[in-house]
Chain A
Amino acid sequence: GENVEQHPSTLSVQEGDSAVIKCTYSDSASNYFPWYKQELGKGPQLIIDIRSNVGEKKDQRIAVTLNKTAKHFSLHITETQPEDSAVYFCARREGGRRALTFGSGTRLQVQP
């Protein structure tokens, strides 16, 4: 599948601040956009996802927004905590294909 561009590659915030990570894609057939959190030594953990028929989804401190016209989607974490420190990956799945294509990852550091 075509690549997913993810920015920034690293992000450092103070505890309590918000963090935003953005991904862009080019394939208009993409219809599913999950976000994963990967802690050191562990496998990626699905934290939130959004489908192409929805513009925004929220789960407590985490939200994802999707702009299909501009072909980008973003992860928003509010009131960040030190335990939010991890590498975050966006991904996309295009229609007719089951596997995911991943972004390059963002290392988030929340400073206490």
Chain B
Amino acid sequence: SAVISQKPSRDICQRGTSLTIQCQVDSQVTMMFWYRQQPGQSLTLIATANQGSEATYESGFVIDKFPISRPNLTFSTLTVSNMSPEDSSIYLCSVEGTGDNEQFFGPGTRLTVL
């Protein structure tokens, strides 16, 4: 399995501002994913981020709102831009392991937008 850390663990932000979430993995991984989990809901994929290429976004998510960086094989960032209260969610970083391609999750970043 992979050990994944996220920063910050939680934040309270004002509408109209932006927040960048960091994801750090203890081993090199090819596939990284960002998910959103709205309060009491399931997980929804935002985008897939591979090192050295542009992130691939799912329907309903756009790069201007959720820009992603993937500078190397152990790190990625997700920015939530121009936030509104509807962006209040848990944002989860996930990686695909190098063994049998299991997917592991970080602890999440709990974002509240006022």
Chain B interface SS verdict (over half): strand
A100-B108 in contact given A43-B92, A44-B92 (Cβ < 8 Å) = no
Among B11-19, B42-50, B68-76, B81-89, the one that faces the other chain is B42-50
In contact, A46 and B103 (Cβ under 8 angstroms) = yes
Minimum C-beta distance from B51 to chain A (A): 14
Interface positions of B from 70 to 114, Cβ below 8 Å from A: 92, 96, 101-108, 110
User: Of the candidates B33, B44, B107, which one forms a contact with A42 in the assembled complex, judged by CB atoms under 8 Å apart?
Assistant: B107
A89-B108 in contact given A49-B102, A98-B96 (Cβ < 8 Å) = no
Given contacts A43-B4, A43-B107, A102-B43, 4 further A-B contacts (CB under 8 A): A43-B105, A43-B108, A46-B102, A104-B42
Question: Can you pick out 29 interface pairs between chain A and chain B where the beta carbons lie within 8 Å of each other?
Answer: A34-B103, A41-B110, A42-B107, A42-B108, A43-B92, A43-B105, A43-B106, A43-B107, A44-B43, A46-B1, A46-B102, A46-B104, A46-B105, A89-B42, A89-B43, A98-B33, A98-B48, A99-B33, A99-B45, A99-B48, A99-B58, A100-B45, A101-B45, A102-B43, A102-B44, A103-B42, A104-B42, A105-B41, A105-B42
